[in-house]
Amino acid sequence: MHHVTVPHHPSLPALPAPDTTPTQVASPGPLRVVHADDALLAIDKPAGLLSVPGRGADKADCAVARVQAQFPDAHTVHRLDMATSGLLLFARGGAMQRALSVMFEAREVVKHYEAVVDGWVAQDAGEIDLPLLADWPQRPRQKVDHVQGKPSLTRFRVLRRDPATHSTRLALQPLTGRTHQLRVHLLAIGHPIVGDALYATHDEPTVTRLMLHATRLELQHPVTSQALTLVSAAPF
């Protein structure tokens, strides 16, 4: 497995103002529950739905609110970007929230994603090792910053190259959990995720969503200590 290298810049060049139009309207009503037991539960979050409430009454609808309507003891332990779909894990009760939060911080929860990116990725597999930092003048953007950025590491593997659309389907594993890590890392190596209204450098008129999905979570169950693997197939 090889490391991907990019030119050494203090930061990525400034990008145009983001398009704040949602990439997809989330489906109303209850969410699909992938797993539920007395300690934790997982749902399949649709693209276009916030993980937690945003600022303002118009951003009150979110995954945790919908989950708590069915499971009142559900607590947030991690998040997915609004534009990203896939597996989102919740704790049942405060003690489990603390236990699962420690597991996420210790990187004991293995996260897997699939994405479709622009262009053909040359390497069949590799790692992207680039430090990331919040781009405060262009919030909520993040950027590569070799001076002040936090260490960030992503593994990738090519699943398929599509000649018709000149795109590549990738399996992704973020070994760190930085905000927008996958989106910025792929942009930095010249292969932005298709449908990314925040970071993509050109329009994809036929794409209505960010082509990024959380496909698998692997963890040791905090109560039974048994290996638990949760799976959600990419809807694109």
The question of whether 145 is a catalytic residue gets the answer no
Q: Is 95 left (phi over 0), alpha (psi -120 to 50) or beta?
A: alpha
The CATH architecture to which 32-108 belongs is 2-Layer Sandwich (3.30)
What is the band of 229 on the pLDDT scale with cuts at 50, 70, 90? very high
Q: If residue 143 lies in a helix (H) or strand (E), which one and from where to where?
A: strand 142-144
167 close to 116: Cβ distance less than 8 angstroms = yes
Q: How far apart are CA 174 and CA 129, in angstroms?
A: 10
- Catalytic: which of 37, 38, 81, 118? 81
Q: What is the pLDDT of residues 146-181, one digit of tens each?
A: 999 999 999 999 999 999 999 999 999 999 999 999
Q: What is the pLDDT of residue 206?
A: 80
DSSP annotation of 192: P
Phi, psi of 95 (to 5 degrees): -65, -45
Tokens of 40: 């934790």
C-alpha–C-alpha distance, residues 144 and 135, integer Å: 9
| Region for 156 from its dihedrals, namely left if φ exceeds 0, alpha if ψ lies in -120 to 50, beta otherwise | beta
**What pLDDT score was predicted for residue 214?**
98
| CA gap 134, 127 in Å, rounded | 21
